[in-house]
Structure 1
């Protein structure tokens, strides 16, 4: 009997619940800690609680999916706030040695983020001073990197000197010292791969860019990985909150001795070459990284594929990418001329008619679905025929989520197990409700119309939490009624709508799915 243990990055649904939902659609049982010991936002999990849970659960486990950020710092946000020394961080990694000593056969897949550097002023998930100096710290890092590469222009040299004067010394020291500590922890993690304590390791690049602190640290890690000839066991690519899904998919493929072949189909000819917002490399290179980390292989022809990943890609990168709540007329002109929606839908219909598994990576916009695409899918009656979908937050978040689900569905494609299918459809429709319904439609409506009159802010709805959660539930139920109520496949029931961090950015809910017939 296989036992897979998973320590998530934090307690939010994307990190804890999504992998659980994927596992529920398989024959693998995923063991996770209770939400109570995982901390909450800026409050770190207690190291001894995490250590005790890991040692207890891994005694008889075959696989461990391990967030080093949770183990060492107590979560993703605490990794940006802690005052731990290098020695304290390295000492906490000794738990991995303890796990291997009591269970030599366990396979450990770990991940540890390269800390993000947001290019805006906000202390919601960063130190308090980031509310004032965040944008300047980010810009300073970019110029520091360009200076190190010998690419600094004359005006940028002047800006660099000015920024160094504007940012208080103690603030810059606090920020850079923490980054050095986190980077040192990552370097030690590479050593653990070298000596066999960690079997596979991912360094996700959280909200990164071509230049900056993240880029510099990535280079240092990559040089060491290459020097130790560990390129086959360590991956570095853009991502963060989807890695739990990615590594569960890798474990799933390993347990079932399955190497899925995925064919990637784009909505834009330029799509593969675009560098998405919050990332540092072309979309095609990111997809290749996600596929290989998930246990899949990219194939050149659809005839060889177990599934087709339809990638709704932007035709313009970085700041030119649209947000889902922008009016269509306000988007960059490439959304009109370099994305062919009709052909994309036509190709999808063709592959579905051939009984192929189809997953959709909706990454043409940031932070939600592209409504133009979604309404076309609805109009053509395709929503019930798609196997997997994701269109949330960053491109990397969406890719990792939908690829993992697509891989699982490709494995079970010709197997009829109604209970398993119902669990898979539950996760699929949850993605539509959250990514399309909440992130694209309801979040903006509530933030614009209800938050101000209730005296709250986007990042703090605690004073009217129950009222706002009730409004969100009503609006999501209306969304389901208008867009997902076709009775041909099954019925959806929305329950327990909450705002995990008492802000508008994310939502949690339970979506029960009652299957009526298989189409």
Structure 2
């Protein structure tokens, strides 16, 4: 009798787990803000992957000229909490009002910590929902413009960055006499009230992240991911990440991670949520271009790319394998031969393919001809695709055979996006999968690596137009950029039958565009 009961129980549990993927179809998502890479592109990926996704109304999200109201966002989350099987939310949006707001807010520490405490209420409203939270360590850029930092950072940013780079170094090793003198000189250059403002905001944000780590230790979240936005090997961001890592030392890699980047975090956590909800554990083998390869430390980051790729894969719910023989997918990471990720808009990105690039493309082609699934992370250049690499890929008509492609902004942004879109591609039609690839090629290759710098040199600079406030030039530039990208597509993307391409500047600046392709 006991054996029969045990067998029936086992059958029931088996049937339960088999059917879970069938109903676990609704995700809640609160992005950083309304930028396409944060909101529209991500939501489109999830929907094409066959999942329902609940997202706050766009006018309630942070935009270029406004922060979101965190209390109103929490009200929306609470109102829809019981509808979701998986909850993926930006702590920056729910605590500060958005990613930019996390760097510029004037919110008291008490209010910030009250908002962190709302995660407990979320869990109580839907105890069965899986909760995935992504947050950022406030970035430490070398310099900044366009209102995405406090106004004083345009003047004092380089000095503030260098001061904290030296302080970070002093915690790990002694400064030499020259460095000590430099630190003393720089401290005298930055007004006391400005330094206090910048440090005080960082300290409040650090305490909020610390509370999120404690919440993860209390099993409030299924996963906590903290990104390091625009960091460097020596910086205040790097310093704070070391402090946080000590507090999170006893959290397993199945619960917590921290690595460079910000804009890819939402995509990664949605990917992990779907892998968890569908009991999927994809395996991946990683290959690199000959040269520096996995030892490359990309611009805007503080970690060798080999470690960073592994961390991204684990965070997304993948398992990296050393051998490619049994892996579900190949992740091909296009790295610079010398390990230096130059800017995509530079003349060095106009050269013919090197023998290393040709060999890498041939390696990818071999995998595709063998029927293997391949995703590409193109990080040879920062802020755009590698022209020589992509010319070879499209000349051989390989791009449309990929599972995903990405080559935008920082290396981590690229890595996270291509991992996420490759995962969702397994549940898409070929047409939907190729539509996502086409959008990335139009954005990352056509615009970021080529059209943007051409417009800067041919239009904005000669006319003295700001690249961070397009204003009255925006309509004319929109027409110009659309025409240029359409021409680029006709010349380079013949394997993608595009009927219509629409391009706009959603944040009134040159840094990003919103691309729609049909």
Output the TM-score relative to the length of structure 1. 0.92
Give 3-state SS (helix, strand or coil) of 2:385's partner: coil
Matched, 1:469 2:478: yes
Q: Does the CA-based 8 Å contact 1:145-1:211 persist in structure 2? A: yes
Which of 118, 134, 139 is 2:162 aligned to?
Answer: 139
In the TM superposition, what whole-angstrom CA distance separates every residue of 1:268-327 from its partner, at most 9, and x where no partner exists? 24211111111111110000011011111111111111111111012334xx42222222
1:455 CA displacement: 4.8
Structure 1: how far apart are the matches of 2:421 and 2:62? 27
Distance 2:252 2:191 in 1: 40
- In the alignment, is the contact (CA less than 8 A) between 1:42 and 1:125 conserved in 2? no
Equivalent residue of 2:498, what SS?
Answer: strand
For 1:376-455, list aligned pairs within 5 A.
376-409=392-425, 411-412=426-427, 420-452=429-461, 455=464
Q: Render the CA deviation track for 1:346-402: whole Å, top value 9, x for unaligned.
A: 111111111111111100110000101111112222122222100000000000000
Offset of 1:58 from its aligned partner? Answer: 1.2
2:506 to 500, 503, 510: 500
Q: 1:250 to 1:492 in 2, by over 3 A?
A: farther
Q: Given the alignment of the two structures, is residue 81 of structure 1 paired with residue 104 of structure 2, yes or no?
A: yes
Please state whether the residue corresponding to 1:236 is helix, strand or coil: strand
Q: 1:350 aligns with which of 358, 362, 366?
A: 366
Between stretches 270-279 and 142-151, larger displacement belongs to 142-151
Kindly report which structure 2 residues correspond to 1:45-84, keeping only aligned pairs within 5 A, or say none.
45-84=68-107
Q: CA deviation at 1:148?
A: 2.4
Match of 1:322 among 329, 337, 342: 342
Query: What are the equivalent positions in structure 2 for 1:484-499 lying under 5 Å apart?
Result: 484-486=493-495, 490-495=497-502, 497-499=503-505
Change in Cα spacing, 1:287 to 1:148, as seen in structure 2 (3 Å) is: same
Alpha-carbon separation, structure 2, partners of 1:148 and 1:195: 30
Match of 2:289 in 1: 267
Q: Give the deviation of 1:116 after TM superposition.
A: 0.6
Q: CA deviation at 1:424?
A: 1.7
1:299 paired to 2:308? no
| CA deviation map 1:61-109 (0-9, x unaligned) | 1110010000000000010001112111010123212211221111110
In 2, Cα distance between the equivalents of 1:329 and 1:107?
A: 43
Deviation at 1:171, TM superposition (A): 0.3
User: What's the Cα RMSD here?
Assistant: 1.8
How many residues of Structure 1 are paired with residues of Structure 2 in the alignment?
495
Query: Match of 2:242?
Result: 219
Counting only pairs closer than 5 Å after superposition, residues 137-216 of structure 1 correspond to structure 2 as: 137-216=160-239
Is the Cα–Cα contact under 8 Å of residues 353 and 388 in structure 2 kept in the other structure?
no
Question: Residue in 2 aligned with 1:517?
Answer: none
Q: Which of 19, 23, 33 is 1:10 aligned to?
A: 33
TM-score (norm: length of structure 2): 0.92
SS in 2 for 1:303: coil
1:149 Cα deviation after fit: 2.4
| Alpha-carbon distance in structure 2 between the residues aligned to 1:350 and 1:35 | 43
Distance 1:42 1:295 in 2: 35
In structure 2, what is the Cα distance between the partners aligned to 1:350 and 1:150? 47
**Do the aligned partners of 1:454 and 1:464 also contact (CA within 8 Å) in 2?**
no
The 2-side partners of 1:51 and 1:176 are apart by 27
Consecutive unaligned residues in structure 2, runs of 5 or more? 1-22
